[in-house]
Structure 1
Amino acid sequence: MLVLLTSCSESADPLPDAVIAQLDRTNNTIADLNADGDELPANVLLQSVLRAEVAGTTLRIVVAAPSGEFVSAKSVVDRYGGTAISYQSERATFEGASRDMTGSQLERAVGAAKIQSDIGESAAAFTNVLESEGLEKRNGTLVRTALLLLFIPAALFMLSGAWSYLQARKRRLRRHYQFVNRKAVLIDWAGQLGPEVESLRPIVAASPDNAAQRTWHDSREFVSSISTALAAATTVGELDVAEMRVGRTAIKLRNLRSSLSQ
């Protein structure tokens, strides 16, 4: 006995008109081309078709006459889809094909069917595999794999984007914290100059040195305005300028006190 197995990945011969005429009939899934031979076990074959339908695939069964042309199961599947098993009467040749089952499951089903002694038992053994294992869909696996392959780059892109966003946000927060902290330090430093200016007032007033008096007045004006300027600062550049001016003013006041104390 010659056993053929295909999962519909190769070319097949066109279906004979006699097969098409029978399978094109509504709700007919069995094509019997052996009208002059032994009667088919129709009830057993119909039960196999129904069990396959419950499992998730439409099963079509073709039986050719012993002296007739063998009908390829793949040709049946190419035209009608689903699953097909094809016999030569007296089981000289047997083939299974499916557009729904995976290749490995089809191989197991054909293996179970080919060891049976007659067509009815063979078809029942074929559907036993479907019924016990459940349908392993070829397309479902491919679709899941394709979706997974599409999802992985998208997920990686989203994760990399989220990581970049979090890192950028962390840097912005760190810069903001540093800016706010530096501004607070400068405001505190500038605030310490106020008491120094006031403590020099009587000394400068008693001094005949006009340059010392101008230095004191300039420093007093700066100290009275710097806190407001610092509070309104929004850039690092503004803080840099303010820090230099506060530093210079602190040095001027120190030098002024030193010169007036001599």
Structure 2
Amino acid sequence: MDNFIYITAVFLLAGMVKGVTGMGLPTVAVAMLSLVMAPVQAAALLVVPSLLTNVWQLASGASVYPLWLRLWPMMAGICAGTAAGSVLALDAGRASGALGVALAAYAAMGLLNVRWRVGAGGERAWSPLVGAATGAISAATGVFVIPAVPYLQALELEKDELVQAMGMAFTVSTVALAVSLTARGAWQPAAAGLSFLAQVPAMAGMLLGQRLRGRMRPALFRRCFLLALMLLGAHLALESAWR
């Protein structure tokens, strides 16, 4: 019962973060759930809420077909990387450590405002490689923001295009992760049932976050969010190292 209350609170918070920032549901959910369960179990609970909220985000703007034509090599790389990563699956302790390092690295890049630009020629070469790296990290940790989000930001897309591109990458990552978890026997009926239930607080949190978006300073919220992620990532990495 305590775990159920904790899971509900986590998905409510994660949905709110996504509603405000357009991202962060899997990152927050997996990071906080990993404090009480293995990352692979946390990732299994994430499947349905992540898929629904990301499809919603993907469909909220203009036609996605032009973006798909541009980004399909990255999406293919995500699928290939997830498949390869699932074969080389880490044990729970190492997965928690990898998750902590990924979260801390992502937060540090955000806090330091690390930015770069990828030109058209570089995009053709980098897209499948970035996708493959994202998929491999996703298979190990359940988190698919590294290096996908920094890379999409480097493409200098318009704001609405960037939100949709992240929605596309997260949707493909979620589907690929679900297939990987099913193949590994980690998405059992019990996990699937809890995952369906978790969509309720996740969607409620997302709606709340969308309402809050216009009432708060996004820069301050983002800074606090990244700092919290860095502390949480450091905790997971250090705890794994001490085992």
Which structure features the higher share of helix residues? 2
Q: Which has the higher contact order (CA 8 A, sep 6+)?
A: 2
- What's the TM-score, normalizing by structure 1? 0.24
Which structure features the higher share of strand residues? 1
The higher radius of gyration belongs to 1
